Amino acid sequence: MTTNAPITWVPNPRARTIAHSEAVTRNFPDGVFQHARAFHRQIPGFRASPLRSLAGLAEMIGVGGIWVKDESVRLDLNSFKVLGGSYAIYRHIKRQLGMDDAELSFEELVSEATRAKLSEVTFATATDGNHGRGVAWAAQQLKCKAVIYVHKDTSVARIRAIESYGADVHVVPGTYDDAVRLAGEEADKHGWQVISDTSWEGYEDIPRWVMQGYTTMLSEAQEQLAGTGIVKPTHVFVQAGVGALAAAVTGFYASRFGADRPTQVVVEPANADCLYRSAQIGDGEPHDVVGDLQTIMAGLACGEPSRIAWGVLWDSVDAFITSPDYVAAKGMRVYGVPLAGDPFIVSGESGAVTLGALTFIAEDPEFADLKEYLGIDRESQILLINSEGNTDPDYFRRVVWEGANSVPEDYRRDLPEA
Q: What is the set of active-site residues?
A: 81, 128
Beta-carbon neighbour count of residue 266 at 10 Å? Answer: 29
What is the 3 state secondary structure string of 242-259?
CCHHHHHHHHHHHHHHHH
CB 238 within 8 A of CB 250: yes
374 vs 151: CA distance, rounded Å: 36
Please choose, from the candidates 359, 381, 379, the residue with its C-alpha nearest in 3D space to the C-alpha of residue 370: 359
Q: DSSP label at 52?
A: E
Report in angstroms the alpha-carbon separations of 388 from 77, 152, 183, 297, 413. 9, 20, 24, 11, 28
User: Rounded to the nearest 10 degrees, what angle do helices 274-281 and 307-316 cross at?
Assistant: 60
Beta-carbon neighbour count of residue 220 at 10 Å? Answer: 18
In the three-class reduction of DSSP (H, G, I as helix; E, B as strand; rest coil), residue 103 is classed as coil
Total number of residues shown for the chain: 418
288 vs 309: CA distance, rounded Å: 14
Kindly give, in sequence order, each residue whose CB lies less than 8 Å from that of residue 71, ignoring residues fewer than 6 positions away.
Answer: 49, 79, 80, 217, 351, 385, 386, 387, 388, 389
> Strand 51-53 relative to strand 65-70: parallel, antiparallel, unpaired?
antiparallel
Amino acid at 217: M
Number of Cα atoms under 13 Å in the Cβ half of residue 108: 11
Amino acid at 261: R
CB 298 within 8 A of CB 320: no
- For 151, phi then psi, to 5°, come to -80, 165
387 vs 38: CA distance, rounded Å: 21
